């Protein structure tokens, strides 16, 4: 029997591919030396990875954060997302404390990356997370790092407490003052702005109207930004403007969560009087606080009545300005609108208005079932509204799903004949250019001859406040205005017809 020889083709040997290597670095603002600054670390790791054969440069992820205890670091989260997507095989970092000072967070992150085959190398400790004894060493060293964070937090609390006992302010960013050697000194031009805000509020203006006036006048905040409602309300409640200090009104829960809690007696409070020059006298400050309480009572929910929440309340964020979306629109057509666009207008944010039924439809696709508040909160952490009518659903498992909502078709409810009738009706109300010019001249002459003294302005302001505080008078006046407008329009229509007949 003859031998049979068969050739087996194994193909070309598979060459090992280069390892995708990235680096993560973090600095604490204002604490690290120049040698270990963010720029120096980025440059160092970029050169290290690109100069090593067998390594493919996958980028440097850098954060500037005050602590490593929080998991909300933007680029740290982006690094984990790229690791899950298979873009990275190995992560370099300077030390355990730069990666995370929370032992639980560190071990959870390293174990997750280890499961998907991503190695983390800590240079300072010379530890690879994929090694057999890596996790044991990480547990021990991370505990030291967490204890170091706790010790630093306790030292900071002790220093703050000593300042409180001596009546020294903690904040250095208070409009109207500068903190000079532990004492507030008045900045005259900023102090004038503070006084104007208090005066305007007592004259009846709200936080929104004050914000608009300050921005129109070109007056900036302490940090050089435009004004918004929140800083104005915070300024109006600030007791420090009376020349006194009420210290430790809030405190941090612990060195890991860093959650700020209002002091309800859990910690001692310190009342220091006459610590600095007052910008606002105590009587004015008390009247403003009383006015804030009075206005708040008007919008307070009745006893037993709860404010209504929706599945998407506080969940949908604008991709342009970062503010939350709020529910708006008529009952027949509910929509969700960016808070900036709704409060400050299209010129400040041009984000799209999302139809509520489209938001529900797309959420149901993402959840794979009914849209309820519990179902949304259990699976979705945020919904980011982007360009071109896109919604990015950020899920709790770390993944993101992109959906595109549809614009509603406009239904034409008027027939052509109805449109023609409406056009004929409105044509009788339109004024000619000559009529507009005469009206403008009459108004100019009117205001030239009507100059108000300060006393007249004061009386007029008090009269207006009394009027708007009387709902019955306001309703009666609105009805009267409506009747007068209807009579005026009817008269203009009749005059227009007579002119055409003539």
- List pLDDT tens digits, range 46-63: 888 888 888 999 999 988
pLDDT score at 34: 44
pLDDT for 271-295, tens place per residue?
Answer: 777 778 889 999 999 999 999 988 8
CB 210 within 8 A of CB 197: yes
Q: How far apart are CA 499 and CA 502, in angstroms?
A: 5
> What is the predicted pLDDT for the residue at 239?
86
Q: Report, as an integer, the average pLDDT of 146-158.
A: 62
Three-state secondary structure call for residue 119: strand
307 pLDDT more than 80: no
Highest mean pLDDT among 120-124, 172-176, 482-486: 120-124
Strands 260-262 and 250-252: antiparallel
Summarize the confidence of residues 389-403 as an average pLDDT. Answer: 86
Average pLDDT over residues 201-218: 89
Q: What's residue 35's pLDDT?
A: 41
Contact predicate 41/94, CB 8 Å: yes
Average pLDDT, the chain: 77
76, with CB counted inside 10 A (0-12, 13-18, 19+), is: buried
Beta bridge partners of 270: 247
First and final C-alpha spacing in the chain: 126
Query: According to the model, what pLDDT value does residue 24 have?
Result: 92
Q: Are 23 and 56 in contact (CB under 8 A)?
A: no
Q: Which residue has the higher pLDDT, 254 or 5?
A: 5
pLDDT score for 248? 67
Q: Is residue 22 over pLDDT 60?
A: yes
What is the share, in percent, of the chain residues with pLDDT greater than 70?
67
- The H-or-E segment that residue 334 falls in is strand 333-338
The phi and psi torsions of 391 (rounded to 5 degrees) equal -125, 125
Distance CA 78, CA 24 (A): 11
| Residue 389 CA, distance from chain mean position | 21
Q: Give the range with max mean pLDDT: 23-27, 265-269, 410-414, 441-445.
A: 23-27
Given a cut of 60, whether residue 1 has pLDDT beyond it is no
Q: What are the tokens at 301?
A: 């929910």
pLDDT of the residue at 68: 47
Which pTM was predicted?
0.43
**Per-residue pLDDT at 142:** 61
Residue 397: predicted pLDDT: 79
Beta bridge partners of residue 272, listed in sequence order? 245
Q: Which of 10-19, 185-194, 412-421 has the lowest mean pLDDT?
A: 10-19
DSSP letter at 304 equals T
The answer for 26, left when phi > 0, alpha when psi is -120 to 50, beta otherwise, is beta
Q: What is the mean pLDDT of residues 315-329?
A: 87
Q: Which two tokens stand for residue 488?
A: 């005026």
pLDDT of 15 > 60? The answer is no
Max mean pLDDT range (7-11, 97-101, 258-262): 97-101
Mean pLDDT lowest among 204-213, 244-253, 488-497: 488-497
| Phi, psi (rounded to 5 degrees) for 426 | -75, -25
How far is Cα 476 from Cα 482, in angstroms, rounded to an integer?
10
User: Residue 242's closest CA among 203, 205, 290, 194?
Assistant: 194
Cα–Cα distances in angstroms (integers) from residue 470 to residues 314, 457, 473, 481, 501, in the given order: 35, 20, 5, 17, 47
Give tens-digit pLDDT for 335-348: 899 988 888 777 78
For 3-59, what is the HEC assignment? CCCCCCCCCCCCCCCCEEEEEEEEECCCCCCHHHCHHHHHHHHHHHHHCCCCEEEEE
Q: How many residues does the chain have?
A: 502
- Which pairing describes strands 270-272 and 90-93: parallel, antiparallel, or unpaired? unpaired
In this prediction, residue 399 carries a pLDDT of 82
Query: What value does the mean pLDDT take over residues 285-306?
Result: 77
């Amino acid at each position: 029997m003859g031998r049979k020889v068969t050739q087996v083709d194994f193909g070309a040997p598979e060459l090992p591919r280069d390892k995708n290597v990235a680096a993560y670095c973090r600095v604490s603002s204002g604490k690290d030396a120049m040698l270990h600054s963010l720029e120096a670390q980025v440059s160092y790791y970029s050169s290290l990875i690109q100069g090593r054969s067998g390594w493919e440069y996958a980028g440097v992820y850098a954060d500037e954060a005050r602590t490593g205890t929080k998991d909300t670091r933007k680029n740290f989260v982006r690094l984990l997302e790229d690791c899950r997507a298979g873009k990275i095989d190995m992560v370099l970092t300077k030390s355990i404390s730069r990666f995370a000072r929370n032992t639980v967070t560190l071990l959870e992150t390293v174990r997750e990356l280890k499961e998907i085959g991503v190695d983390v190398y800590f240079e300072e400790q010379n530890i690879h997370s994929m090694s057999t004894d890596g996790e044991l060493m990480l547990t021990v060293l991370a505990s030291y790092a967490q204890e170091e964070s706790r010790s630093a937090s306790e030292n900071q609390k002790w220093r703050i407490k000593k300042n409180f006992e001596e009546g020294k302010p903690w904040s250095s960013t208070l409009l109207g003052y500068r903190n000079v050697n532990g004492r507030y000194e008045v900045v005259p031009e900023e102090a004038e702005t503070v006084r104007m805000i208090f005066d305007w509020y007592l004259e009846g203006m709200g936080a929104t109207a004050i914000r608009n006036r300050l921005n129109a006048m070109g007056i900036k905040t302490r940090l050089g930004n435009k004004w918004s409602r929140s800083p104005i309300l915070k300024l109006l409640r600030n007791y420090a403007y009376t020349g006194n200090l009420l210290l430790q009104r809030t405190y941090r829960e612990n060195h890991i969560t860093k959650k700020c809690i209002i002091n309800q007696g859990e910690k001692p409070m310190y009342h220091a009087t006459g610590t600095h020059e007052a910008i606002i006298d105590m009587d004015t400050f008390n009247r403003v606080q009383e006015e804030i309480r009075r206005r708040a009572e008007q919008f307070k929910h009745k006893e037993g009545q709860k404010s209504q929440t929706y599945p998407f309340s506080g969940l949908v964020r604008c991709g342009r300005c970062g503010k939350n979306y709020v529910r708006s629109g008529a009952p027949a057509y509910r929509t969700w609108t960016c808070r900036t666009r709704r409060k400050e207008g299209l010129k400040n944010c041009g984000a799209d208005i999302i139809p509520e039924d489209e938001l529900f439809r797309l959420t149901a696709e993402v959840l794979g079932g009914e849209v309820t508040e519990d179902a949304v909160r259990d699976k979705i952490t945020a919904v980011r509204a982007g360009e071109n009518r896109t919604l990015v659903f950020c899920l709790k498992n770390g993944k993101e799903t992109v959906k595109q909502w549809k614009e509603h078709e406009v239904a034409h409810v008027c027939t052509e004949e109805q449109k023609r009738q409406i056009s004929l009706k409105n044509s009788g109300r339109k004024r000619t250019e000559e009529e507009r010019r005469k009206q403008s001249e009459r108004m100019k002459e009117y205001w030239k001859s009507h100059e108000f003294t300060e006393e007249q302005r004061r009386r007029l302001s008090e009269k207006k406040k009394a009027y708007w505080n009387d709902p019955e008078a306001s309703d009666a006046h609105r009805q009267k205005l409506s009747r007068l407008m209807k009579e005026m329009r009817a008269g203009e229509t009749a005059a227009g017809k007579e002119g055409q007949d003539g």
